[in-house]
Amino acid sequence: MSCPVCAYCNQAEFSAEMNIHFSGFKNLDRPSVLIFPKIVACLSCGHAEFTIPENESPNLKTGAAS
């Protein structure tokens, strides 16, 4: 699969740990949500994409920490 930005076929998949914070002053006391997506990164230009795992997306909707 080629990179959607630079069109090179130099991509790799990585496991990641991501801590998502909700923006705005009203969310300062709201806990962040920890997710573990797979990231596909282009090793030529640095463009990266990820998908939030299906079992972790409800946490973003409710704002619950996992």
Consecutive 10-residue averages of pLDDT for the chain (66 residues)? 91 93 87 90 95 82 64
pTM, whole model, 2 decimals? 0.69
Q: Please report the pLDDT score of residue 64 as a whole number.
A: 61
pLDDT value of position 61:
76
What secondary structure does DSSP assign to the chain, as a single string?
A: ---TTT--S-EEEEE--EEE---SGGGTTSPPEEE--EEEEETTT--EEEE--TTTHHHHHHT---
- Domain assignments of the chain as residue spans, ordered by start: 11-62
